[in-house]
Amino acid sequence: MNGRIQSSSPDADGALMLAQPSGRPDFGRLIEAVAQHRDRQAFAELFAYFAPRLKSYLIRTGAAAGTAEDFAQEAMMTVWRKAALFDRERAGASTWVFTIARNLRIDAARRDGKALRELDLSELPNDPAQPDQILSGIDDEARIRAALEALSADQARVVRLSFFHDKAHAEIAQELGLPLGTVKSRLRLAMIKLRDLLSER
Amino acid sequence: MTIRHKPSEETLLAYAAGTLRAPEAAVVATHLAFSRSGRDWVRTLQRVGGQLLDELPTSAMSPDALQRVMARIDADGGEAVMPAPLNDMLELPEPLRRYPLGPWRWLGRGTRVRSVGVPRDGDCRVILFKIDPGRKMPQHSHAGVELTCVVSGSYSDEAGRFGPGDFEEADEETNHRPIVDSDVPCICVVALDGQIRLQGVLGRLLQPLARL
């Protein structure tokens, strides 16, 4: 158990990681400390955990190590700057950091190489969380982990690659040595299953 | 308001993951502004992204990385930058109001266009169309994928009727000539790769003006 995601993808080598032990720091509280008190110690703890993962994240997308290092620093700058927008009822700390990285990536991936646009976290309207969505972070994470575990190894691999690759399908097909159609149908089945397991209603 | 046409699962996943190009992401964000269930699902997918981030192995940062970030924070105060001011089109949903808009340009009878200041990605950019009732969309090539979201009014093509919030994905295979069937102008936002090709002799004369 322990939230292990099965995969034999050559890409996923190190992704065969155990889930965090339940004793990990409350990252949500640390982000709030940065927001409220500009707490540098809290930020250093966040940095120690997230920056090396953000760097891996960008390396997975095909970036060079130096670019990934800059990206991770930029994303952590944004964590500091936008900490006040963090709302633990709406997203767990890891999800929030992921969306920061995601926004930064959309901007950074532009091929014209111009300076980054300031991130726009207001891209999605702020819905008031509904009572049944206010799960404790732990429950929510457990649910997501369980859903990922319920996918077949092949499906989980395609979902993971979809999160990490640009121009997803053609590249994924190439990487896995599978026809494009197979990748697409596998992803579609995985999404149906995830919807089934994770939709609110 | 009922949304009848939604983005494909792949498109929503790519949006949540951040693998869409910025112009495409802006059109999906427009659709999501109309769709509560779509937003909920994207948030769920982003939780999946958070989980996958947690599971990633670590890559060592350079020893002075934290110091450098702190120095930058000290240098610029580290305060959030004010969001971009809103543009002049009250009828647009929030994600589009944060982008600067180009001037309206005339593109044939009953058809106006303006560019939306979403950063281009290669040839792909975002264009806002405003087309009068009964008019057809200008014929255009589909050099790549084209994403459309209706903001107000409606149009019909062989895939059905598209009203506010409805989303259409067209590719090289698609050959459509949507016609506006609402009694108000149809405003829609489009992420487009190819050039718009105007028809007829007049169209060819105007073509240089139509480059966006």
| Span A26-78, pLDDT tens digits | 999 999 999 999 999 999 999 999 999 999 999 988 889 999 999 999 999 99
pLDDT in tens, B30-73: 999 999 999 989 989 999 999 999 999 999 999 999 999 999 99
From chain B, pick out residues whose CB is under 8 angstroms from the CB of A89.
none
In this structure, what are the phi and psi dihedrals at residue A111, rounded to the nearest 5 degrees? -80, -15
What torsion do the CA atoms of A47, A48, A49, A53 make, to the nearest 10 degrees? 80
Chain A stretch 26-65, residues whose beta carbon is closer than 8 A to a beta carbon of chain B: 38, 40, 43-44, 47-48, 50-57, 59-60, 65
Look at residue A91 and tell me whether its pLDDT is greater than 70: yes
pLDDT of residue A63: 87
Residue B16: predicted pLDDT: 92
Q: What is the per-residue pLDDT for B122? A: 78
- Smallest Cβ distance to A106: which of B18, B78, B98? B18
Which is more confidently placed, A115 or A186?
A: A186
Q: What is the pLDDT of residue B69?
A: 95
Q: Kindly report the length of chain A.
A: 201
Query: Is residue A3 over pLDDT 70?
Result: no
Q: Please answer yes or no on whether A102 and B46 come within 8 Å at the CB atom.
A: yes
Note the pLDDT of residue A127: 55
Mean pLDDT of A185-193: 91
> CB-based contact (8 Å) between B119 and chain A?
yes
CB contact under 8 A, B52 and A160: yes
Chain B hits for A60, CB-CB cut-off 8 Å, are 56
pLDDT score recorded for residue B72: 92
pLDDT tens-digit map of B172-211: 666 677 899 999 999 999 998 876 665 565 566 656 555 5
> Which value, to the nearest 10 degrees, does the dihedral of the CA atoms of residues B165, B21, A187, B30 take?
-10
The answer to whether A122 contacts B94, with C-beta atoms less than 8 Å apart, is yes
Cβ-based neighbours of B141, under 8 Å, separated by 6 or more: B194, B195, B196, B197
The pLDDT assigned to A18 comes to 39
Residues in a beta bridge with B160: B157
Residue (of A194, A100, A90, A71) closest to B61 by Cα position: A71
Q: What are phi and psi of B144, to 5 degrees?
A: -150, -150
**Most confident range, picked from A10-24, A33-47, A157-171, B169-183:** A33-47
What's the distance, Cα to Cα, between the start and end of chain A in Å?
A: 26
Q: Which has more pLDDT, B202 or A98? A: A98
Q: Tell me which chain B residues have a C-beta less than 8 angstroms from the C-beta of A125.
A: 32-33, 39, 93-94
Two tokens, residue A111: 């091929």
At A163, is the pLDDT very low, low, confident or very high (cuts 50, 70, 90)? confident
Q: Measured between beta carbons, which residues in chain B are less than 8 angstroms from residue A64?
A: none
**What's the mean pLDDT when you consider all of chain A?**
77
- Determine phi and psi for A68, rounding to 5 degrees: -65, -35
Which of B17, B51, B73 is opposite residue A145, by nearest beta carbon?
B51
Which chain B residues are closer than 8 Å to A55 by Cβ? Answer: 58-59, 61
Write phi, then psi, for A54 (nearest 5 degrees): -65, -35
Q: So what's the pLDDT on residue A168?
A: 57
- Element at A155 (helix H, strand E): helix A153-164
Q: Which of B47, B61, B79 sits opposite A72 (nearest CB)?
A: B61
pLDDT reported for residue B119: 80
Partner-chain residue, chosen from A73, A133, A188, that has the shortest CB–CB distance to B69: A73
E runs forming strands in B51-178 = 105-106, 111-121, 124-131, 146-152, 155-157, 160-162, 167-170
Q: Residue B156, exposed/middle/buried by CB under 10 A (0-12, 13-18, 19+)? A: middle
Q: For residues B153 and B187, is the Cβ–Cβ distance under 8 A?
A: yes
Asked if A55 and A69 touch (Cβ cutoff 8 Å), the reply is yes
Q: How far is B188 from chain A (nearest CA, A)?
A: 18
User: Phi, psi at residue B171, to the nearest 5°?
Assistant: -135, -165
| Predicted complex ipTM exceeds 0.95 | no
DSSP B196: B
The CB density around residue A139, as the number of other CB atoms within 10 Å, is: 10
CA–CA dist A94, A101 (Å, integer)? 10
Minimum distance, in Å, between the CA of residue A182 and any CA atom of chain B: 14
Q: What is the reported pLDDT for A119?
A: 36
Instruction: Collect all residues with Cβ–Cβ distance below 8 Å to A23 and sequence separation of at least 6.
Output: none
The DSSP symbol for B16 reads H
10 Å CB burial of residue A129 (0-12, 13-18, 19+) is middle
Looking at per-residue pLDDT, the higher value among A59 and A175 belongs to A59
Helix axes A153-164, A180-198, angle to 10 degrees: 100
8 Å CB contact between A176 and A183: yes
DSSP 8-class letter at B194: S
CB–CB of B35/A119 below 8 Å? no
Chain A contact present for B50, CB below 8 A: yes
In terms of CA atoms, which chain B residue is nearest residue A192? Answer: B9
Mean pLDDT of A3-29: 53
pLDDT at A171: 77
pLDDT for res A118:
38
Contact list, B69 vs chain A (CB under 8 Å):
47, 73, 76-77, 80
CB–CB of B172/B140 below 8 Å?
no
Assess whether pLDDT exceeds 80 at residue A133. Answer: no
Per-residue burial over B54-85, b if 16 or more Cβ lie within 10 Å, else e, is bbbebbebeeebbeebbeebeeeebebeeeee
pLDDT at A25: 86
pLDDT confidence bin for B128, thresholds 50/70/90: very high
- Give residues 103 to 142 of A whose Cβ lies within 8 Å of B: 103, 105-107, 109-112, 114, 117-118, 120, 122-125, 127, 133, 140-141
Percentage of chain B beyond pLDDT 70 is 82
Among A127-136, A145-154, B71-80, which stretch is predicted with the lowest mean pLDDT? A127-136
* Residue A90 confidence (pLDDT) above 50: yes
**Stretch 171-210 of chain B: residues touching chain A, C-beta under 8 Å:** none
Residue A139's pLDDT is 65
Among partner residues A84, A95, A191, which is closest to B49 by beta-carbon distance? A95
